[in-house]
Amino acid sequence: MGRAILLLGVAVICALSLVTSRHQARQTTAAIERERQTAIVLNDQYERMLLEQSTASTGKRIDKLARDKLNMRLPTLDQIRVIEYRASPKPQ
């Protein structure tokens, strides 16, 4: 009788241990999936930010090249001329 109670106790302990380990495995799997989703969102944000950065830097890069390599500058007010366009009448 004592042996049977001992074996029953060992079986109960093993069953509880199995249930606990499976529960922890499910929690770990759920946590991994949440982290994967977070990684996907962060990667998408990173890609968008890289695109925004390249778009923003393109104008600055062109401006720098125009100034440095082509020696271009913005005109001063006295260098700006406004020309009005008047269409000539079409011959009939």
Please tell me the distance from the alpha carbon of residue 90 to that of residue 80, in angstroms, as a whole number: 31
pLDDT at site 15: 94
- In the chain, what's the furthest Cα-to-Cα distance? 124
pLDDT at site 34: 97
pLDDT at site 41: 97
pLDDT at site 44: 97
pLDDT at site 62: 85
pLDDT at site 47: 95
Q: What are the 10-residue block averages of pLDDT along the chain, 92 residues in total?
A: 90 94 97 97 96 82 88 91 84 71
